[in-house]
Structure 1
Amino acid sequence: MSQIESLFATRLYRARLSEFGDPVDAAELETSCLSIAGDDEAGQEWCEAHEFPGYTSYASLTDLPWRFPIFAQIVTALDQHVAAFAGDLCFDLDERELELEDLWINILPEGGSHSAHIHPHSVISGTTYVAMPEGASALKLEDPRHAMMMSAPPRIKDARKEMQNFVYVKPDVGDVLLWESWLRHEVPMNMSEDDRISVSFNYKWS
């Protein structure tokens, strides 16, 4: 009798940020992100120089949890989510922990997008979602084997999720998504008239 198994799984963790720690005030977090973006001249200049649509604090602010208590609160919850995901991934951490490497704000206006990329030198990456207005783009994840498929025919339109070359995940405000940092991902164009706001982060093995 024939047997087919699924091997070499790519895991995606999705949960409510509030599952760990005290609930984060969504309105305060959104206001904080917008206020920081308005005051961060270095970040604005970097975005303009690199033709980044909207705003990111990735290249300008490295100490958000120290500067703003609400981001420290987020990190307290993220530490627990990442630990849970690391357990699911069966990592042998040799009695060490995964530690926050960096955390930054992303604001994508109407028409803004973030091209496909990975996060080198990190172990787990992810995002928690602050504002996802109607029409805001989902997160697009790419099958990591895609470049090795060579002459393989395309998948049928209604292929099972685990067999698709690209998967789109539409998070809700307050969700946190985690994936291994080698997983290629992108944010397609924001079709909403309002800003798509998120906070992204990387964890490293200390």
Structure 2
Amino acid sequence: MSLRPLFVTQVYEASLADAPGFSGFNDGLAEACRMLAVEDGAGRAWCREHGYRGYTSYGSLNDLPQRLPEFAELKRHLDRHATAYARALNFDLARKPRLDTMWVNILKPGGSHSGHIHPHAFLSGTVYVEVPDGASALKLEDPRLAMMMARPSVSVDAPEAERPFVYLAPRSGTVLMWESWLRHEVPVNAAKAERISVSFNYA
């Protein structure tokens, strides 16, 4: 017999950490994220209103690459990765993927982000800036779960591709991308320090 893996969900993983000057770039990016958390009053208000434990610019700022050079440089890196990912997915595109939105996430200890998707985009992802010991992984959900009906659970040693949930543990500089329809979440941050990341959508 043989098994044919069909309709595979491909998640993209790369790292900025090997690029020349990464340490200085990453330090500058972390500083820029923290500066926004202090200066963005509208963002802090959005976080209070929505119960976000920490800071995100998701509801307040939509021009980070134009606002600060650290995010403009990050965009240049991400544009290359998004193009490579789209090519690997065999997408037939009339133009290169275009960055639509980018936002900062500073998750305090005990904070989390419940399961969600990213409408109005086709590629989404996160680059990880500071990931202290014990920080949350990214939890990805099998998109077939709602249609599995009476399907049995899988054994504890099942291959990653056959599990209902997969946890990806990033490090500083890790870039993760997935198709925007893929449901994902950030479990509770068990670290004793903030977890800093920058998320984005390509349309």
* TM superposition score category, shorter chain reference: over 0.9
CA-CA distance at 1:17 after TM superposition: 2.5
Give identity over the alignment, percent. Answer: 51
Structure 2 residue aligned with 1:143 = 142
Structure 1 residue aligned with 2:73 = 73
CA contact (8 A) 1:21 1:77 kept: no
CA distance in 2, matches of 1:16, 1:52: 27
Structure 2 residue aligned with 1:51 = 51
The TM-score with structure 1 as length reference comes to 0.95
Aligned length: 202
Structure 1 residue aligned with 2:159 = 160
Structure 2 residue aligned with 1:100 = 99
Structure 2 residue aligned with 1:170 = 169
The TM-score with structure 2 as length reference comes to 0.96
Partner secondary structure for residue 6 of structure 2: coil
CA-CA distance at 1:18 after TM superposition: 5.3
CA contact (8 A) 2:17 2:172 kept: no
Q: Please, which runs of 5 or more residues in structure 2 have no aligned partner?
A: none
Q: Please, which runs of 5 or more residues in structure 1 have no aligned partner?
A: none
Pair 193,172 (structure 1): closer, same or farther in 2 beyond 3 Å: same
CA-CA distance at 1:123 after TM superposition: 0.6
Letter in 1 for 2:98: E
CA distance in 2, matches of 1:149, 1:58: 33
Structure 2 residue aligned with 1:114 = 113
Deviations 1:32-88 (A, max 9, x none): 111110110000001101111111001101111111001000000100000000000
CA distance in 2, matches of 1:177, 1:167: 13
CA distance in 2, matches of 1:112, 1:36: 19
CA distance in 1, matches of 2:182, 2:107: 21
CA contact (8 A) 1:18 1:77 kept: no
CA-CA distance at 1:195 after TM superposition: 0.2
CA distance in 1, matches of 2:40, 2:136: 25
CA-CA distance at 1:21 after TM superposition: 8.5
CA-CA distance at 1:19 after TM superposition: 6.2
Letter in 2 for 1:83: T
CA contact (8 A) 1:142 1:166 kept: yes
RMSD over aligned CA atoms reads 1.3
Moved over 3 A (4+): 18-24
CA contact (8 A) 1:21 1:76 kept: no
CA distance in 1, matches of 2:10, 2:152: 24
CA distance in 1, matches of 2:20, 2:185: 29
